[in-house]
Structure 1
């Protein structure tokens, strides 16, 4: 899946951080996600957009990369972060409440970049 031409930018207390993102906008893209990926560039991620704002349930089945999952509401505000998820796990990772988006980054990225709950993500796919 190609990287979108527009970077996703998260405004943190330390300033903006930007990522190249692949977009998972369809049910098929969301179902596949980052499964079977052996690596991902440090400044890249995958943005999942769901058809409606709701409780989102993710898992790591067939995903060898440990990930940070950022749960994002309609306005782009990060409302929860699941850090360092376990590769290949079938355990459910639930959003802390209704969300519209999930941004998957390499594990440790949120902490390293100072990304926290309350920070805001901006991209053309958010709130389209």
Structure 2
């Protein structure tokens, strides 16, 4: 009996490791079955979220910033002191995309409302979401969502 418990525990550990997501990557799993990997900096506290991508002069096409909140809430962003145009991808607590704002204008202080129950926001270079056919209903995979989703980060 004890041997069986150890075997199940080892199998569970192997599965958990296979499902783990690197902290510095977000995989967007599209509804069409494709996936896109982005290398991200995570902003998960007040000062990091407040600074965001302000003053960043350039960003690689496969890079971005993931803003994570402790719980879902109404979220608005602006582009004050942001030098590069951005796409903003707003998700619920499961990592499901609920809205996308394309081509946010640098320095614009107009509020960009993402929704009432936003758990995270992924900022990418402007045009990337359209170029990669990222749509509402697609899913972000990252450790921030491990509690909410069972999809592996390497899903393809």
TM-score w.r.t. the length of structure 1 is 0.92
| Aligned partner (choices 45, 50, 56) of residue 26 of structure 1 | 45
SS at 1:89 equivalent: coil
Give the C-alpha shift of residue 98 in structure 1.
1.1
The answer for unaligned runs of 5 or more in structure 2 is 1-21, 148-156
SS at 1:30 equivalent: helix
Give the C-alpha shift of residue 6 in structure 1.
4.1
Give the 5 Å matches for 1:82-97: 82-97=101-116
Distance 2:116 2:94 in 1: 14
Compute the RMSD of aligned alpha carbons.
1.3
CA-to-partner distance for each residue in 1:53-109, whole Å, 9 max, x for gaps? 011011000001100000010001000000000100100001133110000000000
TM-score w.r.t. the length of structure 2 is 0.76
Give the 5 Å matches for 1:29-44: 29-44=48-63
Distance 1:98 1:111 in 2: 24
CA contact (8 A) 1:74 1:127 kept: no
| Aligned partner (choices 72, 81, 93) of residue 91 of structure 2 | 72
| Aligned partner (choices 112, 118, 123) of residue 99 of structure 1 | 118
